[in-house]
Structure 1
Amino acid sequence: MLSEFKDFIAKGNVMDMAVGIIIGAAFTAIVSSLVGDLINPIIGLFMGGVDFTNQYIVLAGDVAAGTSLEAAREAGANVFAWGSFIMAIINFLIIAFVVFMLVRYVNKVKDATSKAEEAAPEEPAGPTEVELLQEIRDALAKG
């Protein structure tokens, strides 16, 4: 069983997957920062500072009006946090769009690279070894 596990881990696609997961985790932090720190504030600026995060309905428990969602949860209230859900959907759409744009750019670069490789002119074939030997023979015969 241990040797089977070693064979499984040693396969190239498992290692590629591991690298992809690690890079994906790092990329997630970058995209989350892009959305949370750059894009959402700009959207909030144009929408008049609209932020649904603290919008909720108290299902059970006593919470004073105007209390933040986090404070309501800490107070033990049962809340229906519809605003957080809407913000999660908005963030997902923004992240999906950013990833789409990145993939689109990478595909354009890949296509341009493959077209450049295809368009590269092949060097003219030089004389073959047999042709060179024949030229040498003919030159020696004349000389």
Structure 2
Amino acid sequence: MWQDFKKFALKGNVLDLAIAVVIGTAFGQIVTSLVEDLIMPAVGILLGGYSVEDLSYPIGSAELRYGAFLQSVLDFFIIAFSIFMAIRLFSKLKRKDDAPAEEEAPVLDKKEELLVEIRDLLSKEKTGQ
């Protein structure tokens, strides 16, 4: 049983998934901090100190806190946009790494150069130039 577990746990896909979860969690904390500590205070300043989260509608003795819902929706869109931009940046960087390097023309020795010249001359004769 231990051997089977070791084979399973050390497969590339399982390790990649574990690493992705750890990095995703750390990235999520960074984006949450971005939203809560930088973007939303800036939005509050732009709104004159008004907080969307405090919006509510009283119904009898209950209170519908629709502002908290709007805040969550706004947070979601900001987080989704941040993740989109990060993935877009990573894919551009990956494409640059995956791009094949320009191949240099092979270096021909004298015999090969002569053969190329003969081939070109023969093709010109055939086409009547």
Provide TM-score, normalisation by structure 1.
0.62
Aligned length: 109
Rounded Cα–Cα distance in structure 1 between residues aligned with 2:98 and 2:7: 34
Name which of 106, 109, 114 aligns with 2:90.
106
Change (3 A) 1:83 1:121: same
Match of 1:120 in 2: 102
Q: Does 1:24 find its partner at 2:24?
A: yes
Q: Does 1:90 find its partner at 2:70?
A: no
- Residues 24-59 of structure 1: CA deviation (Å, up to 9, x unaligned): 111111111111111112222222233122334567
Rounded Cα–Cα distance in structure 2 between residues aligned with 1:7 and 1:44: 52
Aligned partner of residue 35 in structure 2, secondary structure = helix
Rounded Cα–Cα distance in structure 2 between residues aligned with 1:59 and 1:18: 47
Rounded Cα–Cα distance in structure 1 between residues aligned with 2:21 and 2:98: 27
Aligned residue runs from structure 1 range 1-143, under 5 A = 1-57=1-57, 80-115=64-99, 118-122=100-104, 124=106
More moved, 22-31 vs 48-57: 48-57
Aligned partner of residue 121 in structure 1, secondary structure = coil
Extract unaligned runs of 5+ from structure 2.
110-129
Q: CA deviation at 1:103?
A: 1.3
Higher relative contact order (CA 8 A, sep 6+): 1
Aligned partner of residue 52 in structure 2, secondary structure = coil
Identity percentage of aligned residues: 38
RMSD of aligned residue pairs (Cα, Å): 2.7
Rounded Cα–Cα distance in structure 2 between residues aligned with 1:114 and 1:3: 36
Provide TM-score, normalisation by structure 2.
0.67
More moved, 50-59 vs 89-98: 50-59
